[in-house]
Structure 1
Amino acid sequence: MVAPGTAHRNHCPHCLTSLHVDHRIPGDRRAACRGRMAALSVTVRHDGEWLLIHSCQSCGGLSANRIAGDDNALALLRIAVRPLSDRRLPVNALLAL
């Protein structure tokens, strides 16, 4: 099956984990860290495209990466609704955004 966004994937389609290999420009492979990038959150562009927010477990760096068409939908949804399950956050305020 061919799915959009899979030609230049930078993360595992199952667990959504990545490696810290890019420095400033996607695909430059200039990061010296090479640490594990955990999928922390998602954000949505104005055109509706979803991006994964990755956090490097070694250096703390953050990056935004486009999702791919065959990424694990359940894993994406778990990350997307995570703020709603955090009892420290005012859910009514989040829903009003």
Structure 2
Amino acid sequence: MDVPMIAPGTAHRNHCPHCLTSLHVDHRIPGDRRAACRGRMAALSVSVRQDGEWLIIHDCQSCGELSANRIAGDDNARALLRIAIRPLSDTRLPVSALLTL
């Protein structure tokens, strides 16, 4: 599917708006594109900032690093809600990952 580089609400697109899968491209600063890993990052969960902004929590399938990425205005709302409620029902998620956040 098409993944547009420009997305409403974010300056650095690094995840698919359809399935929310990302690539491990950023090292420390959003948009720096300095990560050497380049692994596939699965959408693990979401987090909500105090101002109400949602972040997708990604887990790198290659190196295990966790990262938080801002959602974009064109992200699939159903996919976001699906991962938002997953920790409530899925016992397969690593508890250590959820406690780290």
TM-score by structure 1 length?
0.81
Change (3 A) 1:27 1:6: closer
Is the partner of 2:69 in helix, strand or coil?
strand
Q: Using the TM superposition, give the Cα deviation of residue 87 of structure 1 relative to its aligned residue in structure 2, in angstroms.
A: 5.9
List gaps (5 residues or longer) in structure 2. Answer: 1-5, 93-101
Deviating beyond 3 angstroms after TM superposition, the runs of 4 or more aligned structure 1 residues are: none
Q: Using the TM superposition, give the Cα deviation of residue 29 of structure 1 relative to its aligned residue in structure 2, in angstroms.
A: 0.9
C-alpha RMSD over aligned residues: 1.9
Q: Partner of 2:33 in structure 1?
A: 29
CA distance in 1, matches of 2:90, 2:63: 25
2:24 maps to 1:12: no
Identity %: 90
2:72 maps to 1:68: yes
**Larger of the two Rg values belongs to structure:** 1
Whichever residue aligns with residue 32 of structure 1, its letter is: A
List gaps (5 residues or longer) in structure 1. Answer: 89-97
Is the partner of 1:76 in helix, strand or coil?
helix
Count residues in correspondence.
87
